Amino acid sequence: SAYSKGLLDATRLENGGADAIVVENYAEPEMGAQAGTQSKVYMEHICAEIRKIVRRAELGMNVLPADVTAAFELAMTYNFDFVHADIYSDTVRSRETGAEIRVNLDYVSRFRRECEMKADERIPLIATVKPRHAYDVCGDEHIENSARRAAEYGADAIAVVGSGGMPPEKNDISRVKSLVRVPVGAGSGMNNATLEEYFMMVDFFLVSRFFRQDGDISKPIDERIVSFLANRKRYLMARNGLNGI
């Protein structure tokens, strides 16, 4: 089942040395920007179990492409460390359903402030801008405007992606980094070669397909590949005289 596969993936990522793990209902059919009651209940169960087995890596929450409020609710309830939004400051169109997806940034900001006041803590948000790795982005707005708006509406880090799962354009990364004062990461097309190529350009990496057996997103996490990339990262940090995770 998807439930047992999720627990197995989390265990392999933790054992392999991943710094952080994002829990998301990736394969669920898109029915809009908000998750239904059944989806939330399912996510509650798996979040509770994953929180028990993951002790070292940080845990992130992602609900559908754009249900940021549900992600913050779950993150607060189960003591997750951050939230990731595939869609945040852009309007996109799903390639699967043709539906237009847009986040109400004013509502999310108010909801987030209320959550922070109740919990007396701030849960960081990683926002992907121009998510053309998986969606058709509406309009021809420059990436700088998407990044600026994401930061203005509370993004604590920004992920830059490429088209069709390819690595991001280096010029896009440079433009975003010159504009915002938050960490900027690469969020698509990451593997052992691109890790080294982009290592000194970005602050973090989001890795997905490369960790899967045979590079197939439908297959389980391969713990050996996770370990390989984690060791490669440590080597690159030592070679470049860097500290931290």
pLDDT in tens, 132-191: 998 999 999 999 999 999 999 999 999 999 998 899 999 999 999 999 999 999 999 999
Other beta carbons less than 10 A from residue 198's beta carbon: 19
DSSP code, position 243: -
* Nearest-angstrom CA–CA distance, 186 and 195: 9
pLDDT in tens, 45-69: 999 999 999 999 999 999 988 899 9
What phi and psi values does residue 182 have, to the nearest 5 degrees?
-120, 165
Residue 73 has which token pair? 């609710």
Q: Are 91 and 102 a contacting pair, CB within 8 Å?
A: yes
Examine the pLDDT at 38 and tell me if it is beyond 70. yes
Cα angle at 14 between 8 and 20, to 5 degrees? Answer: 115
DSSP code, position 200: T
Three-state DSSP at 109 gives helix
Other beta carbons less than 10 A from residue 4's beta carbon: 10
pLDDT in tens, 206-244: 999 999 999 898 899 999 999 999 999 999 999 988 876
